[in-house]
């Protein structure tokens, strides 16, 4: 079985998406939510320059690209985008 984000040995197959669940307080729960938070942290570190002292000046395109990658790996409603951006200091 391939890990998230990697293709299986058959290069034509895409990896399975993990579904992120939320409780009645809109808090992420379960293993996929932990994986998403970890992946998001890595994506932010790799795609957003460290010289940005104020996240409000990070280009919207960079934020959108990070979310696009997340949506390729996880099933998560766009409603929660601001929740995850806020956890990584990406709110504009």
Please report the pLDDT score of residue 7 as a whole number: 42
Provide the token pair at 30. Answer: 């379960």
Instruction: Name the pLDDT band for 88 (thresholds 50, 70, 90).
Output: low
Please report the pLDDT score of residue 2 as a whole number: 44
Residue that the structure tokens 């956890």 belong to = 87
Please report the pLDDT score of residue 63 as a whole number: 84
Q: What pTM did the predictor assign?
A: 0.69
Distance CA 48, CA 42 (A): 10
Q: Lowest-pLDDT range, 16-20, 38-42, 83-87?
A: 83-87
- For the stretch 32-81, pLDDT in tens is 999 998 998 898 888 887 777 676 778 888 888 988 999 999 999 888 88
Distance CA 76, CA 83 (A): 11
């Amino acid at each position: 079985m391939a890990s998230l984000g990697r293709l299986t040995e058959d290069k034509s197959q895409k990896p399975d998406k993990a579904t992120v669940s939320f409780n009645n307080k809109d808090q992420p729960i379960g293993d996929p939510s932990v994986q998403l938070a970890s992946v998001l942290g890595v994506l932010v570190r790799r795609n957003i320059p460290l010289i940005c002292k104020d996240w409000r000046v990070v280009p919207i395109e960079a934020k959108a690209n990070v979310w696009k990658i997340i949506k390729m790996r996880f099933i998560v409603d766009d409603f929660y985008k601001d929740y995850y951006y806020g956890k990584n200091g990406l709110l504009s």
